[in-house]
Structure 1
Amino acid sequence: MFQRILVALDNSEMSQRVFEEGLSIAKVTHAHLMLLHVLSDLELGYANAKNLDEHLDKWEEYRKKGLELLQSRQNIATYTGVDTGFTQIVGSAPSTICKLAQSWKADLIVVGHQRKSPLQELALGSVSNYVMHYAPCSVLTIQPT
């Protein structure tokens, strides 16, 4: 049985499904849930800013939005009786997910998979693919519908 489930969330539409799957498993197994959002320039779209001040303003908005996402999902999980924590870390999503899973001693990582073209996969990589290969525990990959 799982005792510690790490759920990696982002700002995509799929994030809700990833959260729901992690929460569902945590309810059944009475596991502790850790919600993670990784702050990354790749998700923010760092090329969209005209200058450093604009980039910093967007970064702060992005950081706050991430914390709001985590807090609201933690509230939902706690309301349903699941012991839940959250953290938001600056870094590269794939390696940050694996490092937190290692240090927190996660039994399971729940992560979404976004369909990309082969060229996008080559250029940007895949978070879920990296996590499946380097995670210190089991990984549940949620596919888009």
Structure 2
Amino acid sequence: MSYQHILVAVDGSPTADQAVAQAADLAQATGGRVRLLNVMDPIAHISGFEQPQVYQQEVLPRLRRAGEALLDAARTQVARRGVPVDTVLLENLDARVAELVVDHARSWGADLIVLGTHGRRGLARVLMGSDAEQIARTAPVPVLLVRQQAAQAGQA
């Protein structure tokens, strides 16, 4: 199968950076393109004590800038390889991140999703949840999970 539309979810983690590199390699080999997706999750970054005005004027713009910076850095990494690349920043209001990624893959026509994963097992996975696992189970296309390299895992 020739992957022409490769979707990569980026969150600033080392494994997401490795996923971007893998996606760029695949796109370069197949003549495909990469779409980088970041999901802003403002609910995860609020205490509940913020006034609505503070939330709208300070919290959301800060999260938007951070998401755009992640996407810009990843775009530069892919573009350096001569691979066509674009970016999408989504704001998550009430859905699971996994649902948003799968929905976007479907609507964009992705034929591969590439994700970084921490490879948590046991209780850590149960407590933290696994967006990567949920995406892999519900995606309409193949999902490539990129794990943290052994040298980096020791430092984490």
Count matched residues.
Answer: 143
SS of match in other structure, 1:11: coil
Could you tell me how far apart the structure 2 residues matched to 1:120 and 1:105 are?
A: 33
Show structure 1 runs of 5+ residues with no match.
Answer: none
The match for 2:147 is 143
Could you tell me how far apart the structure 1 residues matched to 2:126 and 2:80 are?
A: 41
- CA deviations over 1:48-75 (Å, ceiling 9, x no partner): x752355552332121011112122213
- Aligned AA (2:27): A
- Same amino acid, percent of matched pairs: 24
Greater radius of gyration (CA): 2
Length-normalised TM-score, structure 1:
0.86
RMSD: 2.1
- Aligned AA (2:143): V
Q: 1:117 to 1:50 in 2, by over 3 A?
A: farther
Could you tell me how far apart the structure 2 residues matched to 1:108 and 1:38 are?
A: 18
SS of match in other structure, 2:14: coil
Query: Relative to structure 2, which stretch is displaced further, 86-95 or 70-79?
Result: 70-79
Show structure 2 runs of 5+ residues with no match.
Answer: 150-156
The match for 2:104 is 100
Could you tell me how far apart the structure 1 residues matched to 2:114 and 2:72 are?
A: 18
Length-normalised TM-score, structure 2:
0.80
Q: Give the Å deviation of 1:11.
A: 2.4
SS of match in other structure, 2:75: helix
Could you tell me how far apart the structure 2 residues matched to 1:72 and 1:113 are?
A: 19
Structure 1 segments of 4+ aligned residues over 6 angstroms from their partners: none
Q: 1:58 to 1:119 in 2, by over 3 A?
A: farther
